Amino acid sequence: MTTRLTVPTARPYDVVIGHGVHEQLRGLVGFGMGVMRVAIIHAPTMAAQAARLREPLVSDHLEVHLIEVPDSEQAKTTDVLAFCWKVLGRAGFTRSDVIVGLGGGATTDLAGFVAASWLRGVRFVNVPTTVLGMVDAAVGGKTGINTDEGKNLVGAFHEPVGVLCDLDVLADLPARELRSGMAEVVKCGFIADPSILDLVEAAPAAIADPTSHIVAELITKGISVKARTVAGDLRETGSDGSIGREALNYGHTFGHAVERFEHYRVRHGEAISIGMVFVAEVAHRAGMIDRDLLDRHRSILELVGLPTTYRPGIWEALATTMRLDKKTRGDQLRFVVLESLAQPVILAGPDESLLLDAYRAVAS
């Protein structure tokens, strides 16, 4: 089966989920719409897949450039960004040409920002190849790169014209990468769709099999949450008075600090798993959630095989990094927390001692 979910923003686009959906790339590129050139930005592990995507486009007499970039977060640097710009410039890319991001979340983040910044914005298509990429990075129009000071501090909102989530690629996904992606799926369960949590608890063994129908269902549910959330608040302004898109950052303030401290040697999902336990501890200590919901964070994340504890003795370093988080306002730290299951809110300026106690609980 193929599932098609529409992201109903001002410029709606579809996320197609199923087996063999990479074949739909030709239609999304827009053959016959003045396109002459396509750049496929991909990680080294996706070189063979990039070559396969190239073939039908070349058959349409398009000029296709394969741009190989480093794997994971090493791709999201100003040097790599400048390299991509140089390739586009030398190839003569115009506003009618198209960028394709093929790979995990880091690759699609980079490809989206290349598209957003080249000629002030050209069309792009995301072809995510990991669970994390499908559920989180490829949908929603957030693009960006990292700096020495923090993760995703430079970027732009630039929506793709379509997203192709081909489940066939998951068969070869390393177990650690599958677990990491499931952190973002579980996050969607805590902030919006508890049926995700029920499904994880009911079939934990199936989650380890990337070809299982359970994994496909979880991915679809996670993308549905992301599509609904970004449609209501694309640019994360919360202008209607609700938490809006910021809800998707559940666990990310602390998680990004962990990633930065570890120089991205931990997977994004592993760090976000720890971050979710941290904010659950914060919410529990602030009297917002009960012990059962706090404990459910640990039990579900451990069922998936994700970490729920972190190293002690580095609170000051993590706190310094968190003060550069995108949700921070002035010198006030702000965290996405739950006041009950599927009821996320912003907790602004919590007492430092409360945060330290939550960290100690995670680091114990």
Q: Which residues are annotated as a binding site for NAD(+)?
A: 105-109, 129-130, 142, 151
Cα separation, 284 vs 278, in Å, equals 10
Residue 162 and residue 17 in contact, taking contact as beta carbons nearer than 8 Å: no
For the chain, percent helix, then strand, then coil, each to nearest 5? Answer: 50, 20, 30
Cα separation, 141 vs 143, in Å, equals 6
Enumerate the known binding-site residues for Zn(2+). 184, 252, 268
Cα separation, 107 vs 104, in Å, equals 5
Backbone Cα Rg of the chain: 20
Cα separation, 348 vs 155, in Å, equals 24
Enumerate the known binding-site residues. 105-109, 129-130, 142, 151, 184, 252, 268
Strand order in the sheet with 123-128: 3-7, 13-18, 162-166, 123-128, 98-103, 37-42, 63-68
Residue 79 and residue 52 in contact, taking contact as beta carbons nearer than 8 Å: no
